[in-house]
Amino acid sequence: MPGILMPANYHPPTPAPGPATIREVKSSLLDKPDHAFDCELVAVETTVGAAAAIILYRMPRAITIFGIDMPEGSFTLGYFWQDRPYNVYHWLDPDEYTLAYYANIADRTAITTTTIAWRDLVVDVLVRPNGTVEVLDEDELPADLPPPVARRIDYARAALVDGAAALAAEIERASQAWLAARR
């Protein structure tokens, strides 16, 4: 499924100079309230149609998500694209080792220098460091999905599952490059 995974010539947006904040606002396909998170802006590109951003969120406490222990000091690098049907969170422990890659199937992604807004389409794909891929939350999808939304979910799910190894490798390279540059 060319075009929705990172192409060979993909380069992450240019890192932001100095610490800046950006607000991530997640709405839901389901009738759930919006969630907002204040994050550190790592990089942003606001070109119309190709906007992309990378953000850093530090976990406020130790948590376990989908059986993955995220100790105190863990953080996530969030990758967002306006022209892709998903976003990816790269979960890392305090020593900067990968815990997992967590992709949200999404739409309505809008990126500015101050805000990332997106709509969660319920289905998620979790890729563990050993390559195991899990599709999550499909049972939560409403039966009466509009056909365009159902097609987007099906397309993104298939692409994420089929391209999980390539996507994880590309995210890992981008994250490690940023981590190395800030040391």
Q: Where are the domains of the chain?
A: 21-182
Give the burial class of 67: count Cβ atoms within 10 A of its Cβ; 0-12 exposed, 13-18 middle, 19 or more buried.
exposed
Given this model, what pLDDT does residue 4 score? 41
**In whole numbers, what is the pLDDT of the chain averaged over residues?**
89
Q: Which CATH superfamily is domain 21-182 in?
A: FomD-like (2.40.380.10)
Given this model, what pLDDT does residue 6 score? 45
Predicted confidence band of residue 14 (pLDDT cuts 50, 70, 90): low
Given this model, what pLDDT does residue 2 score? 34
Model pTM score: 0.89
Predicted confidence band of residue 39 (pLDDT cuts 50, 70, 90): very high
**C-alpha distances out from residue 175 to 56, 66, 78, 99, 101, Å:** 10, 22, 10, 13, 11
Report, as an integer, the average pLDDT of 123-135.
97
Predicted confidence band of residue 44 (pLDDT cuts 50, 70, 90): confident
pLDDT over threshold 80, residue 141 = yes
Quick one: tokens of 76? 């996530």
Which residues are paired to 70 by β-bridges? 63
Given this model, what pLDDT does residue 176 score? 93
Beta strands in the chain (DSSP E): 21-28, 35-45, 52-58, 63-65, 68-70, 75-81, 86-92, 98-111, 115-127, 133-136
